[in-house]
Structure 1
Amino acid sequence: MGLPRLSSHQFDRFRDFIYKNSGIHIDKNKVTLLSNRIRRRVNAGGFETFDTYYRFLTSADGASELAGFLDAITTNETYFFRTQKQFDWLSSDWLPEQVTRQRAGERKRQLRIWSAGCANGSEPYSIAICLAENLYRLHDWSLEVVGTDISEEMLEVARSGIFKSSAIDEVPQRQRRRYFQNPTENDLWEVRESIKQLVQFKQHNLMKPLLGPVFDCIFIRNVLIYFDRQSKQIAVNNLLNALAVGGYLVVGPSEGIYEMLGGLERVSPLIYKKVAETPRSAAAVGHRGGKP
């Protein structure tokens, strides 16, 4: 007989554990959903009960299980050029602005863009396609797109660069021919190597700082909707720490973080510019630089 649903006590314990380790808040009406997803890990590991699995997960020996557990309870599916007008802005407004600033001596020939909570990789690859479409402006620039996600399983999908045709429905035919290949003529399409080379993927929890040089633009869309207010504030602080002064933050319509964006000014709906250094982001100044 299969395991029943989580009891109220078990649900609370797992929910607290998930929140502590990811910042993701699971609503109380998600008992069945959470039960089903945890049951898969229980069965895969050969555990007899939810309780024995929980004891293992929270023990020193269970540290290696954490990534798989978080993979199981997070659902992140998306598609190329979701919210097209934001990518139009990136290509038509933001990139020309950066080129103009470089020609005026205000910045180096380098761009770093972060896709936070990138799921299957369609967002950072969409960004990379925008860069590729503008290589006539950027042919001698250092270009880097970083995609991060808490789920290593999703990152493996992203690194493969292989997608079902439904994920590229919004990609124009010209770009589809230029930046994708369909070697087996089935339902799967693969991002071409020229685009893959622009993107690197890293496992990262938004509740922790992302170390390294700051970014010129950060996309955080349809991710923080799953966080409560306290977790959102921590994640937003980490995002702003990683954003250069003069950099842009591109958000989704349901993030619920607009009152948390101190030091940023609204440029257009869902796009904000960091206009001043703030005390909480001062630590990031020392990381500015990157590739020459």
Structure 2
Amino acid sequence: MGLPRLNSQQFDRFHDFIYKKSGIHIDKNKITLLSNRIRRRVNAGGYDDFDDYYRVLTSTAGADELAGFLDAITTNETYFFRTQKQFDWLASDWLSEQIARHRAGERKRQLRIWSAGCSNGSEPYSIAICLAENLFRLRDWSLEVVGTDISAEMLNMARKGSFNARAIEEVPEQQQRRYFHPPTENNQRQVRDSIKKLVKFQQHNLMVPLAESSFDCIFIRNVLIYFDRESKQKVVDNLLNALAFGGYLVVGPSEGIYEMLGGLERVSPLIYKKVTATSRTRPTTETRGRNS
């Protein structure tokens, strides 16, 4: 007989543990979803029940299980060029502005973009395709897309760069031929090395600062839906600290962080520009050096 659903006390224990480790807040109405995901970990590990699994997970011996547990409770469905208008803006208006700033002597030939909560890699690879489509305008520029996620399993999938037809259905046919290998027998499409080399992946919890130089643009989309206000504020502080003065923050419609974006100016729906240099600001491209 299979395990029943989590009872209220068990749900509260797991809820508090998940919140402590990731900042993700799971509503009580998600008890069935959480039960199903934890049940798979219980069965896979041969634990007696939810309580046995919780005891091991929260013990010193459960450190190795933590990554798999967080993988199990993280929602990861995404696809290429989700919210197409934002990628159109990146490839046109945003790139044109950065090139104009370089010509005016205001920045180096260097672009760094962060995909925060990148899941299976479709978002950072979409960003990389936008850059690749503009290489004729970005000759001799240093280009880097950083994709981070809390899930080691998702990052492994992202590094492989293999996607099914559904994930790339928004990619124009010409770009599919240019940036993906032909379909395999099981209809998977592999990202070409020309795109992979523009992206690096690393595991990261958004609740802590990212140990990287400042970014010219940060994407945070469809990630914070399960975070409560306190956790969202902490994530936003970390994002703004990582965003260069004059940089852009691209958000999803479900983030619920709009009132937290002090120092940013709304330039279009879901796109904000950092116009105030606060004490949290890291050294920007301008202060690190002029044209190379």
Q: TM-score, normalised by structure 2?
A: 0.96
Q: 1:91 and 1:286, CA in 2 relative to 1: closer, same or farther beyond 3 A?
A: closer
Contact 1:253 1:270 in 2 (8 A): yes
Cα deviation for residue 184 of structure 1 reads 2.3
Show structure 2 runs of 5+ residues with no match: none
1:14-34 CA distance string (max 9 Å, x none): 011001111111110111111
Amino acid at match of 1:101: R
Show structure 1 runs of 5+ residues with no match: none
Residue 75 of structure 1 is matched in structure 2 by: 75
Cα deviation for residue 289 of structure 1 reads 5.1
Distance of 2:28 and 2:255 partners within structure 1: 20
Larger helix fraction of residues: 1
Cα deviation for residue 139 of structure 1 reads 1.8
1:178-201 CA distance string (max 9 Å, x none): 011125254211111100000011
Look up the SS of the partner of 2:115 in the other structure.
strand
Distance of 1:286 and 1:112 partners within structure 2: 11
Distance of 1:204 and 1:262 partners within structure 2: 24
- What are the within-5 Å matches in structure 2 for residues 120-199 of structure 1? 120-199=120-199
Contact 1:213 1:289 in 2 (8 A): no
Distance of 1:184 and 1:157 partners within structure 2: 16
1:164-184 CA distance string (max 9 Å, x none): 001111111111110111252
Look up the SS of the partner of 2:112 in the other structure.
strand
Q: Does 1:58 align with 2:58?
A: yes
Q: Does 1:6 align with 2:6?
A: yes
Contact 1:214 1:289 in 2 (8 A): no
Distance of 1:6 and 1:23 partners within structure 2: 21
Amino acid at match of 2:118: C
Distance of 1:7 and 1:114 partners within structure 2: 39
Contact 2:214 2:284 in 1 (8 A): no
Residue 285 of structure 1 is matched in structure 2 by: 283
Look up the SS of the partner of 1:118 in the other structure.
coil
Cα deviation for residue 49 of structure 1 reads 1.4
Cα deviation for residue 158 of structure 1 reads 0.7
Residue 29 of structure 2 is matched in structure 1 by: 29
* Paired positions, count: 289
Cα deviation for residue 99 of structure 1 reads 0.7
Percent identity over paired residues:
78
Cα deviation for residue 43 of structure 1 reads 1.3
Q: Does 1:212 align with 2:212?
A: yes
RMSD (Å), alpha carbons? 1.5
Distance of 2:265 and 2:15 partners within structure 1: 35
Distance of 2:204 and 2:153 partners within structure 1: 12
Cα deviation for residue 136 of structure 1 reads 0.5
Look up the SS of the partner of 2:155 in the other structure.
helix
Amino acid at match of 2:17: F
Cα deviation for residue 232 of structure 1 reads 0.5
Distance of 2:32 and 2:227 partners within structure 1: 20
Distance of 1:75 and 1:258 partners within structure 2: 22
Q: TM-score, normalised by structure 1?
A: 0.96
Contact 2:218 2:248 in 1 (8 A): yes
Amino acid at match of 1:285: P
Look up the SS of the partner of 1:277 in the other structure.
coil
Q: Does 1:276 align with 2:276?
A: yes
Q: Does 1:261 align with 2:261?
A: yes
Amino acid at match of 2:283: V
Residue 240 of structure 1 is matched in structure 2 by: 240
Distance of 1:181 and 1:286 partners within structure 2: 37
